Amino acid sequence: MKQLITFILKEFRHIFRDVRTLVILFGMPVVQVTLFGYAITNEVKDADIVVLDKSHDYLSTRLTNKITSSGYFYLKDKAATVKEVDKLFREDAVKLAIIIPEHFAERVQEKDAHIQLLADASDPNQANILVNYTNGIINKFMFEEAGVGLPYAINTEVEMTYNPTLEGVFLFVPGVITIILMLVSALLTSIAITREKELGTMEILLVSPLKPIQIILGKVIPYMLLSFMNAMFILLMGVFIFHMPINGSIPLLLGESLLFIITALSLGILISTKAASQQVAMMVSLFALMLPTILLSGFIFPISSMPWPLQWLSMIMPPKYFIIILKGIMLQGVGLAVLWKETLVLTGMTLVFLAAGIKNFKIRLA
């Protein structure tokens, strides 16, 4: 035990004396959360629009006010002709144009009003979102202010469960936690172990009375503690900066995080037993772990819309299950009763990786 503690202390010294490790450990989470939280977002805020109001009656003015006061749009310009609208699009000055026909108020009474929406679809996602938002506002306006639509229009009432304001960051926080834990745990441990191999110090450790399991534990425990701190740090950032809720049990959340950290660590051990050098370990960790974590875990792209080979592939990605668990606990507030399947899969994967890693480590000795 004393030997192990000595060894763990040494590992902490390595970590705190290596600038690159420190940057990955502590700089990365902040950068990622900030990036995903603020910069990369598909919400609409103050999108530039132009309104071409051919009617200029009380109703069209009120509709224009309603749209611009929604907070989603910024009325960049008012145009007098379609040509002007066209020019604004070409200059990339606006993303959306709203064209209100002549005699708008009268036509509304006759139930024959058509509003034209022109969107800049060079960014199809954004165009879609803008059109949907505008549609929503117009429908609501027609219903409330003009009193039309009632007799025969079907009103859909949409409620966004678990994430009522459609905050993108609610999806990104679980994603970022997953990426960071994967990166720190797997990448850093695999590098830390292969570094000893490369430097020849591993040989000395193997000749010493330290048992292989002590060497592995000594290398892994510091990263486990730091990863756990990291996970809590990102959670706190999510809660206090982005107002992300934690609807479920916090002990369960922390427990599941620990489980995923161990999954990633065991992957790191497995990689380090196979990789001969730090570069190889890094490459394997980045390409075999990071990219699938980002692309196939359902973090950015919904798994259900992937072609079946990729869907099948995503089944064997540990991050997928962790993201489901995180979302379940944080947003849906569910417990083990619902998430036992994912937890079981993660536990099973961890045991397989661990067994393979330790077996490989021993074979190197025999």
The β-bridge partners of 117 are 98
* Stretch touching another protein by CB under 8 A, among 11-19, 62-70, 232-240, 351-359: 11-19
From the centroid of its chain, how far is CA 242? 13
Beta 96-100 vs 116-119: how paired, if at all? Answer: antiparallel
Cβ proximity to another protein: between 18 and 48 the closer is: 18
Cβ proximity to another protein: between 39 and 365 the closer is: 365
Rounded distance between C-alpha atoms, residue 294 and residue 197, angstroms: 30
Rounded distance between C-alpha atoms, residue 173 and residue 168, angstroms: 9
Nearest-approach distance from CB 6 to another protein, in angstroms: 3
* Cβ(261)–Cβ(227) below 8 Å: yes
Cβ proximity to another protein: between 24 and 310 the closer is: 24
* Stretch touching another protein by CB under 8 A, among 13-21, 162-170, 172-180, 285-293: 13-21
* Cβ(355)–Cβ(338) below 8 Å: no
Cβ proximity to another protein: between 82 and 206 the closer is: 206
Confirm or reject binding of residue 48 to another protein (CB under 8 A). Answer: no
In the region spanning residues 204 to 263, those forming contacts with another protein, defined by CB under 8 A, are: 204-211
Cβ proximity to another protein: between 154 and 366 the closer is: 366
Rounded distance between C-alpha atoms, residue 197 and residue 354, angstroms: 19
Q: Which residues have C-beta within 8 Å of that of residue 253, sequence separation ≥ 6?
A: 235, 246, 326, 329, 330
* Cβ(189)–Cβ(268) below 8 Å: yes
Determine which residue in the list 10, 78, 243, 359 makes contact with another protein, applying CB under 8 A: 10
The β-bridge partners of 53 are 100
Q: What angle do CA 242, 248, 249 make, to 5 degrees?
A: 115
Residue type, 20: R
In the region spanning residues 57 to 96, those forming contacts with another protein, defined by CB under 8 A, are: none
* Stretch touching another protein by CB under 8 A, among 5-13, 75-83, 114-122, 251-259: 5-13
Nearest-approach distance from CB 15 to another protein, in angstroms: 10
Nearest-approach distance from CB 335 to another protein, in angstroms: 43
The phi and psi torsions of 17 (rounded to 5 degrees) equal: -105, 0
Confirm or reject binding of residue 128 to another protein (CB under 8 A). Answer: no
Confirm or reject binding of residue 277 to another protein (CB under 8 A). Answer: no
Confirm or reject binding of residue 36 to another protein (CB under 8 A). Answer: no
Confirm or reject binding of residue 158 to another protein (CB under 8 A). Answer: no
Type and span of the H or E element at 50? strand 47-53
Cβ proximity to another protein: between 215 and 323 the closer is: 215
Rounded distance between C-alpha atoms, residue 321 and residue 310, angstroms: 15
Confirm or reject binding of residue 201 to another protein (CB under 8 A). Answer: yes
Cβ proximity to another protein: between 17 and 83 the closer is: 17
DSSP helix/strand/coil, 119: strand
And the tokens for 59? 């109703």
Confirm or reject binding of residue 13 to another protein (CB under 8 A). Answer: yes
Confirm or reject binding of residue 18 to another protein (CB under 8 A). Answer: yes
Rounded distance between C-alpha atoms, residue 149 and residue 140, angstroms: 10
Task: Identify the CA nearest to 96 among candidates 108, 79, 114, 113.
Answer: 79
Using CB under 8 A as the criterion, what x/- string covers residues 159-198 for binding another protein? ----------------------------------------
Cβ proximity to another protein: between 6 and 42 the closer is: 6
Nearest-approach distance from CB 9 to another protein, in angstroms: 8
Cβ proximity to another protein: between 14 and 62 the closer is: 14
And the tokens for 181? 């834990």
Residues forming the site for another protein (CB under 8 A): 2-3, 5-7, 10, 13-14, 17-18, 199-201, 203-211, 365-366
